[in-house]
Structure 1
Amino acid sequence: MTKQVALGQPTVGQRELDAIRSVFDSGWLSGAGPTCVQFEKNFASVAGVDNVLATSNCGSALHLALLALGAGPGDDVLVADYTFPATGHTVMWTGARPVFVDVRPDIWSIDTTLLSDAVTERTVGVIAVDPFGQPADYDELVEFCRARGLWLIEDAACATGASYRGRKVGEIADLTAYSFHGRKGITSGEGGALASPNDELIAHARKLHTYGISPAIARDASRELPVPSFDELGYNYRLSDVQAAIMLVQLERLPQLLAARRSVATGYAERLGDLDLVTLPTALPDRDHSWQSYVIAVDESLDRGAVATSLRQRGVGCNFGTYASHLQPLYGEQKSLPVSADLFARHIAIPMHANMTEDDIDYVADTVRSVLTDTDNRR
């Protein structure tokens, strides 16, 4: 029977089940309750800031960030192109226009040398993305934005626990959005968070994430009967207390989960580093990579689809990396961005999760080596 190694796998167990039981026993299961409040307090140590808001997912966190910063119709927002299109979608949700910018060929984050040429008279801000868990070039991004009066959002969907030049993801940009989707480093199946050094921005986002009023827990201890008034359009972007309970346990696991993922990345580098037909991911020494995914670029002489099919037939889970957003029809006509387009065409994500054993790493590496050298997978 062929060995099976999943592309991604959460690390959950009895501790998470016990945490869910405690929420059931409390009687408060809905969103933005006491367990969410506790999660926000605990997550602050990961984000490096006191102002944290738990959200339903990363897309809602990004949307709230854009709304809190005032993005809307008539505005342009510069967006890193190599990313899941949720990043560009959230800009469109506000009525603003995403203007995609090409990425660095080595670490795949927004190429700061191209930002000036992308600015228009309507540009109001930048959304940088941390591809697969490695932070973008934030010193350059902050300098660029400050010099032009632009705001900066960090899409850290893959980068919980990562850091940049000694600073935690969450304390650099005006607002930072996180994801707790099932393939992320810590997960409650779905979920997200928004963090900021600016308490006013989070306070505004908190109002918007509960239909435009303060969450019910803010009124729970009142001896009177406060009746909120709706004066701003809001949304239901709350994380449930059931999910927050899971996240509290996941936060406790985070150091071990990050260490395990980094060990897998090291194992791949040692086993695949001599292959000429593949380019391995670059991890820069001045930032801590959280390794949400491990993505390799296959040589142009290889048929990526055939390689992926062969890997799956041998039990190795895989997928493409992520999207060159500017190629998606939804966004209309966009400037050609060759680096992102090339990555989109050649990237393959191979198994990466904290449950992988040395045998798993060996099997994946041996299978990748075999598949890449199989002449049947040539173009």
Structure 2
Amino acid sequence: MSSIVSLGQPTVGAEELQAIADVFASGWLSGAGPTCATFERRFAELTGTSDALATNNCGAALHLGLSVLGASAGDEVIVGDYTFPATGHSVAWAGATPIFADIRPDIWSVDPAAVEAAITPRTVGILAVDVFGQPADYDELQAIADKHGLWLMEDAACSAGASYKGRPAGSLADVATFSFHGRKGITAGEGGALTTNRSDLADHARKLHTYGIAPALSREGNTDLPIPSFDELGFNYRLSDVAAGIMLAQLDRLETLVASRQRIANQYATLLVDVDGISVPVALPDRVHPWQSYVITLDQNVDRGKVASYLKANGIQCNFGTYASHVQPIYGFSGHLPVSADLFKRHLAIPMHANLSEDEVDRVVATLRAALTT
């Protein structure tokens, strides 16, 4: 049987192992230590922000961001609908209600017109999603936020290395959040980060992410015995220094990894242009797409389940795209968002990671052609 072409795959090796060894040698393995501090400085530079805060996952970063922005019970937050439910969940964790807005049919991020139509007197903010890494329409969204006195937040879970009109992902809203899950462009297996240019939000987030006190590193080297005082309910959202060491090695790889994914996306687009029954994803010229996933849209008359079964039977991993959040029963959302609902049924993710060879891409496309004609 032919080898499996994996849907996603991390790029890790000797550099990451050495980074782990360096952390072990330092003696500080727990969260929010010196290696985390170094990673945070470098990630802030990468994202063009004044502050970055490493977290144990993106869900934690989302919750922290919403908490410091003040989302709470009785509030509504408008959320781009086409996303993994961590986005909507985080709004609920903060006590607020996610109000889902429909998406653009081409790049699948939230439609600014749908955002404006969803605003009510209870709306406090907008949570946009950079779907599969390509940034949303932040100029238009910021104009809406300013007009209505709302804050703007960027779910940049897939967006490390992306940019919008020359500005890096992470700097496009009041707060942004990233994921370093194993399927993302850079990864420590798990992990996340919050970025912001607002020092008030950064300071509050740093306090909340360590149970409501300053991290132990801030007391390191004191000659007296400082005893923290707890005056606000916080969380344990720290990233371990072991994971932060891996992330430092991954940051060194980021430019090369994004370039590899862009090369693969270009190869796919060239090979798939004449394949009947599908449409290839759109990358807009005013933004850098890091291609966390490569998701094709099947025509209405194509049986997605049949295509997926054929691919898997022939060693090509695949999956659906992501979720139309508004149809998930947990939210009890009563509206219908036709664009998101339609794409939820027709999207198919095919292999995308920086380790794919040209021959493997050729094989994926050939197998997909066969699946569509069988």
CA contact (8 A) 1:126 1:150 kept: yes
Residue number in structure 2 paired with 1:92: 92
TM superposition score normalised by structure 2: 0.99
Distance 2:3 2:191 in 1: 32
Distance 1:170 1:161 in 2: 10
Aligned-pair CA distance for 1:116: 2.0
1:234-269 deviation line (CA, Å, top 9, x unaligned): 000000000000000000000000000000000000
Residue number in structure 2 paired with 1:128: 128
What amino acid sits opposite 2:308 in the alignment? A
CA contact (8 A) 1:77 1:91 kept: yes
Residue number in structure 1 paired with 2:291: 291
Distance 1:116 1:127 in 2: 13
Aligned-pair CA distance for 1:149: 0.7
Distance 1:262 1:68 in 2: 35
CA contact (8 A) 2:188 2:243 kept: yes
Aligned-pair CA distance for 1:333: 3.0
CA contact (8 A) 2:321 2:349 kept: yes
Residue number in structure 2 paired with 1:253: 253
What amino acid sits opposite 1:344 in the alignment? F
Residue number in structure 2 paired with 1:311: 311
1:178-210 deviation line (CA, Å, top 9, x unaligned): 000000000000000000011110110000000
Matched, 1:24 2:24: yes
1:212-231 deviation line (CA, Å, top 9, x unaligned): 00000000121111110111
Residue number in structure 1 paired with 2:205: 205
SS of structure 1 residue aligned to 2:284? coil
Aligned-pair CA distance for 1:170: 1.4
Distance 1:90 1:334 in 2: 19
Q: How does 1:211-290 map to 2 (within 5 A)?
A: 211-290=211-290
Q: How does 1:81-230 map to 2 (within 5 A)?
A: 81-230=81-230
1:154-195 deviation line (CA, Å, top 9, x unaligned): 000011110000111111200000000000000000000000
CA contact (8 A) 1:100 1:334 kept: no
SS of structure 2 residue aligned to 1:340? helix
Residue number in structure 2 paired with 1:71: 71
Distance 1:307 1:34 in 2: 49
Distance 1:87 1:136 in 2: 15
Aligned-pair CA distance for 1:276: 2.5
SS of structure 1 residue aligned to 2:349? strand
What amino acid sits opposite 2:207 in the alignment? K
1:87-146 deviation line (CA, Å, top 9, x unaligned): 000000011000000000000000001122201110000000000010000000010001
Moved more, 243-252 or 49-58: 49-58
Aligned-pair CA distance for 1:3: 3.1
Distance 2:350 2:46 in 1: 27
Aligned-pair CA distance for 1:334: 2.6
- Equivalenced residues, count: 374
Aligned-pair CA distance for 1:4: 1.5
CA contact (8 A) 1:10 1:353 kept: yes
Distance 1:265 1:185 in 2: 14
CA contact (8 A) 1:308 1:318 kept: yes
Distance 1:328 1:172 in 2: 28
Distance 1:46 1:146 in 2: 26
Aligned-pair CA distance for 1:34: 0.2
SS of structure 2 residue aligned to 1:100? strand
Aligned-pair CA distance for 1:277: 0.3
Q: How does 1:14-53 map to 2 (within 5 A)?
A: 14-53=14-53
Aligned-pair CA distance for 1:44: 1.4
Aligned-pair CA distance for 1:372: 1.3
TM superposition score normalised by structure 1: 0.98
Residue number in structure 1 paired with 2:327: 327
What amino acid sits opposite 2:11 in the alignment? T
Residue number in structure 2 paired with 1:377: none
Distance 1:301 1:143 in 2: 39
Distance 2:277 2:172 in 1: 37
Residue number in structure 1 paired with 2:371: 371
Distance 1:174 1:276 in 2: 42
Residue identity over aligned pairs, in percent, reads 61
SS of structure 1 residue aligned to 2:126? strand
Residue number in structure 2 paired with 1:343: 343
Aligned-pair CA distance for 1:346: 0.5
Distance 2:334 2:259 in 1: 40
CA contact (8 A) 2:50 2:198 kept: no
1:63-105 deviation line (CA, Å, top 9, x unaligned): 0000001100000000000000000000000110000000000
SS of structure 2 residue aligned to 1:370? helix
Residue number in structure 1 paired with 2:354: 354
Distance 1:283 1:185 in 2: 17
Distance 1:132 1:168 in 2: 15
CA contact (8 A) 1:3 1:314 kept: no
Distance 2:70 2:57 in 1: 20
